[in-house]
Structure 1
């Protein structure tokens, strides 16, 4: 009989779905979604939170007696009740740390440690058996793109943290993201789900707009805009060479990446940048901010920018556009060597088996 694993998450993002499939290869996975996105007002959010906790308590009463392991994505309020429950019963809890749960960035209104949920997050982090950040920089880092709050990471916001930490990056399937043609017309693409001005700034699209303005002969393409386009036009006046497009299904992005010369990721806050890694597999030459997991993803196979200065970033983008076709193979090889799904599978299985052995 396969060990039973309780998998708790907030929303079924692409990386959550990937881990559900991956862990399902070895475990009897029982998932629970703790989605709080349906409420718009404070009373509505409080009511939804109470309802989710009640649903989760009933689910735990049913599932926990037969569980061998609990796995969750993000240290947040959705793991508060399970963390207390498994601590009483001696069941190990492993948590994937994705980014939001290692940050407090007031100028962007981003990070769990700047919200009312911070005490819950700290309690979860202390009670976990193992923390699995997707990038070393989520443990501790200095971010030059955040002059008001440069020091970030778990050890900054929870200095008394004693829970074991093992970095396990997200993984990608090279077969799903084939290397495109070597010769490509000069072009720049970036993909991010932008549903508010706050998200737009966190993803660095405001900076990207200024970079595009300085390279008027180069087409720029931003995919994933869900907010009002007129609001963006009024506030940022994007140039004519910049296209703002709605989200595309994930399976259609490989074609987009396969045609673009450069992938530009100018986030001010990011965990392990999934879309950047997928674009690199498809042969996009990466240019990224030296922020959290972006330098680890790019390695020596692309270009990093040190500060949000449009003129300097534009020069780096031009350098990437001028790079030889062999740079596409280097970008592809960087992800294949360090960030495949198989590598995540092997490391996760090894660490989770070790947790179970400790309590056997």
Structure 2
């Protein structure tokens, strides 16, 4: 039976858009954006708008679907609970992060933490995108009901440009970066340090805006900083690079890591968020940052693997059809 779903989000990212399209195939889905703004007054205005919308409209919906637990999830979960509507809350990583020294994560400040924990404990179901996030939810919100459903990919390998095994001595990472917080959260300081220690390899970061470039000073000669690229341009880099690095301090299920593996890059990562779920036994996973262990792995394994190993890992685990089937079964 076709149902009416209220779909609440802050930023209309690729993953959010994908879930909207999945649900819209079978149901009548209405979008509501809680606009991410800075400042208490502007945030209060967004709260008031959302409260008024829910007061007049919540009874029109059969279910509420929310991306991320944060300020914006509190009222939808509360109204759903009061009216007996089903609420589904996707957990992406930021919402269970707490790095106070970087002011990062929904748990990093008092009021925000309370609203986030209420959302986790009172929604009908939390849907973490990877197992490590489910464990985190269970630790911080014991009353929460959880079910992990991976985000997924449509594998359009028209460029199954036959994943060349022999590749340049290049190590790649992708991160849209415009400030110090992002620089540190994504571990780009570690990536820069690695470039200094491995001068015989080319290092490349895609997504660095001009205002963030001074964070890399002095820039090693073998480190290239590129702005955001379109998907075709980025795919060319995935196919050239031998390794892909994900040295994040906090992470959900990293999209670029999965894409890089799909195109045959050897993955390097830390046991943070969804990184180990993507890599599993196909590459390097460190429990903590150890630059010497990374250098040793790179020097021993450049062009040593059949690139299909990494591609098949992603295809077998993160096919979008799996998420589609599971989400639709929940409604």
Tell me the TM-score range normalised by the shorter chain. Answer: over 0.9
SS at structure 2 position matched to 1:238: coil
**Residue pair 2:174, 2:206 contacting (<8 A) in 1 also:** yes
Runs of 5+ unmatched residues, structure 2 = none
- Cα deviation, 1:190-220, whole Å, max 9, x if unaligned, reads 0011121121111111001111111112111
**Residue pair 1:113, 1:157 contacting (<8 A) in 2 also:** no
How far apart are the structure 2 equivalents of 1:175 and 1:194? 27
Distance 1:307 1:163, change over 3 A: closer
State the TM-score, normalized to the length of structure 2: 0.93
Equivalences, count: 328
- Hey, what does 2:286 align to over in structure 1? 305
Runs of 5+ unmatched residues, structure 1 = 40-44, 141-152, 354-360
Matched, 1:225 2:236: no
Q: Alignment RMSD, CA only? A: 1.8
- Cα deviation, 1:270-328, whole Å, max 9, x if unaligned, reads 1111111111111111111121210110112222123212222222233342423x1x1
State the TM-score, normalized to the length of structure 1: 0.86
**Residue pair 1:103, 1:111 contacting (<8 A) in 2 also:** yes
- Cα deviation, 1:95-152, whole Å, max 9, x if unaligned, reads 1101111121224332211113001001111210001111111133xxxxxxxxxxxx
- Hey, what does 2:35 align to over in structure 1? 35
- 1:233, CA displacement in angstroms? 3.8
**Residue pair 2:270, 2:287 contacting (<8 A) in 1 also:** yes
- Cα deviation, 1:305-352, whole Å, max 9, x if unaligned, reads 23212222222233342423x1x10111011111111111111112x1
- 1:177, CA displacement in angstroms? 7.9
**Residue pair 1:103, 1:154 contacting (<8 A) in 2 also:** no
Give the one of 300, 318, 324 matched to 1:339: 318
Give the one of 141, 147, 159 matched to 1:166: 147
Matched, 1:193 2:176: yes
- Cα deviation, 1:162-185, whole Å, max 9, x if unaligned, reads 221101111011116854431322
- 1:31, CA displacement in angstroms? 0.9
Matched, 1:136 2:125: no
